[in-house]
């Protein structure tokens, strides 16, 4: 009788283990897709990408048109192209993704999520613009009167781009980063201005049903903490807000803490 009991217990354990293994195989970790913000490129993710990959995640990063190493002419870079580029990247990935946007990238992931909600498991706004329906980045940006960015922009003569002085670039994006990163940031390409007029008409059936998370940066002089909180409050559907004691680039200032947060969100 005792032998029968032991056999039954072992059989139950093996079946449970097998079911757990099947569940792990059926529910793999989702892919992280990162969309960089203004005055940036996919190089922004170079510290956290390998850290997430080492933990078993698939990570996709890319340059938006006319950013980083992408050679799209500035005259052709517009918000619609940013969104299409992002949607195409996501559609090429099997299964759902966790879509992360930084700064101006928040506008892009919002529009992309409205178009392909079935592909988005979660949206993560990393000190990013979180618009309401039909709200432009320009509207959100000019409301942030304490930001260093708006009053420091230097439009080009042709009106296609805007630049920032090197000291402002460093103060906003890399004041708490390494000297090596500060040198890269200081040489950032001018930002195409077309994104400032980009907007998306959002619906409860698409964008509204996707869980949203916000990572708020407490020392941010690009999108100030007060403005970040206003957007969180105005949205009304952010599942959880995390705070990081960094400037506008938490991926450089505290990459390990950021990876921990992203793992918790996932």
Q: Residue 187: helix, strand or coil by DSSP?
A: coil
Mean pLDDT, residues 159-166 = 94
User: DSSP 3-state assignment of 154?
Assistant: strand
CA–CA distance, 50 with 86 (Å, rounded to integer): 21
Is pLDDT of 198 > 90? no
Predicted confidence at residue 15, as pLDDT, reads 42
User: Is the model's pLDDT at 202 over the cut of 80?
Assistant: yes
* Domains in the chain: boundaries: 29-265
> Mean of the pLDDT values across residues 89-99?
96
Residue 211 burial (10 A CB sphere; 0-12, 13-18, 19+): middle
- pLDDT tops 60 at residue 215: yes
Q: What is the mean pLDDT of residues 68-77?
A: 93
Architecture of domain 29-265: 3-Layer(aba) Sandwich (3.40)
- Is pLDDT of 209 > 50? yes
**123 class by beta-carbon count within 10 Å (0-12 exposed, 13-18 middle, 19+ buried):** buried
For position 27, what pLDDT does the model report? Answer: 58
Per-residue confidence band for 10, with pLDDT thresholds at 50, 70 and 90? very low
Band the pLDDT of 253: cuts 50, 70, 90. very high
What average pLDDT does the chain have? Answer: 90
d(CA 188, CA 195): 17
Q: Is the dihedral of CA 241, 244, 249, 253 positive or negative?
A: negative
pLDDT reading at 223 higher than 70: yes
For residue 187, the model assigns a pLDDT of: 87
Min mean pLDDT across 26-30, 126-130, 151-155 is at: 26-30
pLDDT score recorded for residue 17? 45
């Amino acid at each position: 009788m005792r032998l029968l009991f032991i056999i039954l217990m072992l059989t139950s354990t093996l079946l449970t283990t097998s079911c757990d293994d099947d569940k792990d195989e059926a529910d793999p970790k989702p892919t992280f897709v990162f969309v960089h913000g203004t005055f940036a490129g996919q190089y922004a993710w170079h510290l956290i990408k390998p850290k997430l990959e080492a933990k078993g995640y698939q990570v996709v990063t890319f340059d938006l048109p006319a950013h980083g190493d992408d050679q799209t002419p500035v005259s052709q870079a517009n918000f619609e192209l940013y969104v299409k580029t992002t949607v195409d990247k996501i559609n090429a990935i099997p299964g759902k993704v966790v879509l992360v946007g930084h700064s101006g990238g928040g506008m892009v992931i919002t529009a992309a999520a409205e178009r392909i909600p079935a592909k988005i498991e979660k949206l993560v706004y990393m000190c990013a613009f979180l618009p309401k329906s039909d709200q432009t980045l320009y509207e959100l940006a000019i409301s942030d009167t304490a930001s260093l960015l708006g009053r420091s922009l230097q439009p080009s003569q042709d009106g296609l781009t805007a630049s920032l002085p090197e000291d402002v670039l460093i103060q906003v994006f890399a004041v708490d980063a390494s000297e090596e990163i500060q040198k890269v940031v200081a040489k950032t390409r001018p930002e195409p201005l077309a994104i400032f007029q980009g907007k998306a008409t959002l619906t409860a059936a698409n964008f509204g049903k996707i869980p949203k998370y916000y990572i708020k940066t407490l020392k941010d002089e690009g999108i100030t903490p007060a403005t970040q909180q206003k957007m969180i409050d105005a949205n009304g559907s952010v599942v959880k807000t995390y705070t990081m004691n960094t400037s506008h680039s938490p991926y450089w200032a505290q990459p390990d803490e950021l990876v921990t947060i992203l793992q918790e969100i996932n």
